[in-house]
Amino acid sequence: MGNCTSLQPLQFRRLALFLSLAFKAAVLIQQWYRRYVARLEMRRRCTWRIFQSIEYACEQDQIKLHNFFSYLMDHFTPSSSKERDFISRMFISGESFKEAELEKYCDYESMEVPDSYTGPRLSFPLLPDHATALLEAFKQKQQLHARYVLNLLHETRKHLKQLPNISHVSTCYSEEVTVCGDLHGQLDDLFFIFYKNGLPSPSKSYVFNGDFVDRGKQSLEILIILFTFLLIYPKEVHLNRGNHEDHMVNLRYGFAKEVMQKYKVHGKKILKMIQNVFCWLPLATLIDQKVLIIHGGISDTTDLDMLQKIQRNKVGWSFPSGSGRRCRSKSSGAASWWTASRSQRSPPIPILDILWSDPMPQEGCRVNTVRGGGCYFGPDVTDKILEKYNLQFLIRSHECKHEGYEFCHNRKVLTIFSASNYYEIGSNRGAYVKLGPDLVPHFVQYQASKTAHTLTMTQRISRVEESAFRALREKLFAHTSALISAFKAYDKDNTGKISLSSWAMAVESVLHLGLPWRMLRPQLVRSTVDGMLEYKSWLDDLAMEQRSQEHIQSSLLEVIYRNRSNLETIFRIIDRDHSGLISFEEFRQTWKLFSTHMNIELTDDGIDDLVRSIDFNKDGNIDFNEFLEAFRLVKQSQVCLQMQSREREGRYL
């Protein structure tokens, strides 16, 4: 603006005025902008809370399902051999084959690979070239022939069998160990890790800390790659079992479905083998006797010596039963097949703790009611175990973290999570951690989606937020009847309106999600009259969003939505040959049993309506994938995943 000393007094005054105005203007803009950013931050945290609480609520569903089975076991006396067969199928699906039977059933040697097959061909013992061929093939979206998949699984099983429950890694051999957390079928993240950090090799050790499968769409590819590297570099590659390396969990969370879709003919064999291989996965890894790596966490009774001795392969069903830590089997004069099934009900508590526990800020150790298995362990428990075994710190996974990793308990517990964009594109980063001989952790964070980088912070947050609220509105719809009762309790004069304060309290009392409802209200309740909400029309609006089938009773639809996840799991259990079809009769029986247990009032007409809306020309069979999709019961997350995989064409940066 020129040299001040040469200014005329008038110009000087004008300059001073402008500068003071500029100052004030700047303050105003900064003030306004900082408020905008703070609101964004609040929205981001609320969105996170929504996803987490829904995710954990779903895990609770699994417990309800188990309670349903327990209820059946305890109260249901099959009145015909048909009914007995039907029930037994629900339980014996967890059985493990005897070794010889398994080999015979999952035989691959007689399988021929046609000349037209252009994918990788594996021969054993595997070599590094096979690994690179596989990586390249999967990048090109090719599929490995079933014969090689089964062969690989057989060899993997042979290898895992000779491993102890707790693997030992030393930083003497390879200077550096890289630890990765949950991958959940997100192959792009694994590609990124290998790209950034290098492939496993004699000078590059890796520990993969469980939850390789479920939710993401490329769980099988991840398993194939991990098992391949495991066999090529047995000294350098270590795998820990996670709570998702489990057949029942796989039925619910998508892995079983993925395998059956990709391998229509041999899928069942592949699943059976994988089920067995999962049982043989080690439970923990120790680095230099100083750092303990487990998937979930610990408890105040964790005993490494005992853990070392447990027969880990007997735990076919890693999933906890809902009836608490001490399972009492009630005898009801049942036949031997009842008691045989019962003994499979719950795995040993030490294993549950390792696979399912979560750290908490408060001291102590209490039952993990959210997950239904394992416990919440406090900093005092961590200290106790670290001291007992002369350890420096714990590494675990199991919980999604916004930055891909997080310390707690005074930096003595590290959570590492390697699936980026886990809830939605832009929701979180993934990370892996490297440890050298000094055992000082170095982190690398990433977000394996080109889209995430091109979005501004606002767009990223908005997008994740939209997704979270969609899921939340669906949950609200699924509890319509309970909500109406709760609202009416606040509307004694029957005006049809309640205050927003009452709304918040009512919603929490029904959903039990522990969410900050008053903060979320502007996104959920669009219109109010004098600060009061007309709740019936609000619920009607929610219903309109969800309704895809006009003629089905709204209450029935609500029931289906509320129990969607359980229904799907039950279908898959009944469908033993994984054909995707169950008979109409089976469907009716399932539905009847289920509704009796859940105290759902449903007329036979209601069921018939349901069935009539399904295309029924399959010899009295129901294709339940069609059923689920027809009612838009495909999880929103699956829709999002489809969007994600389309966007992942751009891969990583």
Q: In the complex, which residues of this chain contact other proteins (CB under 8 A)? A: 18, 21-39, 41-42, 45-46, 49, 361-362, 456-458, 462, 501, 504, 516-519
Q: How far is the CB of 44 from other proteins (least distance, A)?
A: 10
Q: Interior CA angle at 472 toward 466 and 473, to 5°?
A: 90
Choose between 203 and 369: whose C-beta lies nearer to other proteins: 369
Q: How far is the CB of 535 from other proteins (least distance, A)?
A: 18
Choose between 306 and 457: whose C-beta lies nearer to other proteins: 457
Q: How far is the CB of 11 from other proteins (least distance, A)?
A: 14
Report the SS3 class of residue 18.
Answer: helix
Record the tokens describing residue 251, joined without a space: 């039925």
DSSP letter string, 194-244: HHHH---BTTBEEEE-S--SSSSTTHHHHHHHHHHHHHH-TTTEEE---TT
Choose between 132 and 459: whose C-beta lies nearer to other proteins: 459
**What is the C-alpha to C-alpha distance for residues 210 and 200, in angstroms, rounded to an integer?**
17
Q: How far is the CB of 630 from other proteins (least distance, A)?
A: 36
Residue 295: name the closest of 249, 361, 357 by CA: 357
Choose between 519 and 628: whose C-beta lies nearer to other proteins: 519
DSSP 8-state assignment for residue 548: -
Choose between 331 and 458: whose C-beta lies nearer to other proteins: 458
DSSP 8-state assignment for residue 5: G
What count of other Cβ atoms lies within 10 Å of the Cβ of residue 280? 17
CB contact at 8 A, 295 and 242: yes
Choose between 103 and 383: whose C-beta lies nearer to other proteins: 383
Look up tokens 């890289």; give the residue.
178
| CA dist list (Å): 651 to 134, 430, 489, 648 | 18, 14, 52, 5
| CA dist list (Å): 637 to 303, 421, 573, 630, 645 | 38, 12, 22, 17, 12
Choose between 21 and 335: whose C-beta lies nearer to other proteins: 21
CB contact at 8 A, 174 and 204: yes
Q: How far is the CB of 55 from other proteins (least distance, A)?
A: 18
Q: How far is the CB of 506 from other proteins (least distance, A)?
A: 14
Report the SS3 class of residue 19.
Answer: helix
Distance between the two ends of the chain, CA-based, in angstroms?
44
Record the tokens describing residue 311, joined without a space: 């027969």
**What is the C-alpha to C-alpha distance for residues 272 and 55, in angstroms, rounded to an integer?**
27
User: Is the peptide bond preceding residue 282 cis, with omega within 30 degrees of 0?
Assistant: no
> What number of CA atoms fall less than 13 Å from residue 590's CA on the CB side?
23
CB contact at 8 A, 292 and 284: yes
Amino acid at 62: Q
Q: How far is the CB of 78 from other proteins (least distance, A)?
A: 47
CB contact at 8 A, 47 and 468: yes
Choose between 505 and 630: whose C-beta lies nearer to other proteins: 505
What count of other Cβ atoms lies within 10 Å of the Cβ of residue 109? 8
Q: How far is the CB of 295 from other proteins (least distance, A)?
A: 23
Residue 538: name the closest of 572, 573, 491 by CA: 491
| CA dist list (Å): 130 to 197, 202, 219, 543 | 20, 16, 19, 52
What count of other Cβ atoms lies within 10 Å of the Cβ of residue 14? 12
Choose between 215 and 401: whose C-beta lies nearer to other proteins: 401
- Is 597 considered catalytic here? no
Choose between 442 and 453: whose C-beta lies nearer to other proteins: 453
Q: How far is the CB of 24 from other proteins (least distance, A)?
A: 8
Catalytic residue among 154, 184, 238, 244: 244
Q: How far is the CB of 5 from other proteins (least distance, A)?
A: 22
* Beta-sheet pairing, 358-359 with 413-416: unpaired
Residues designated as active site: 244
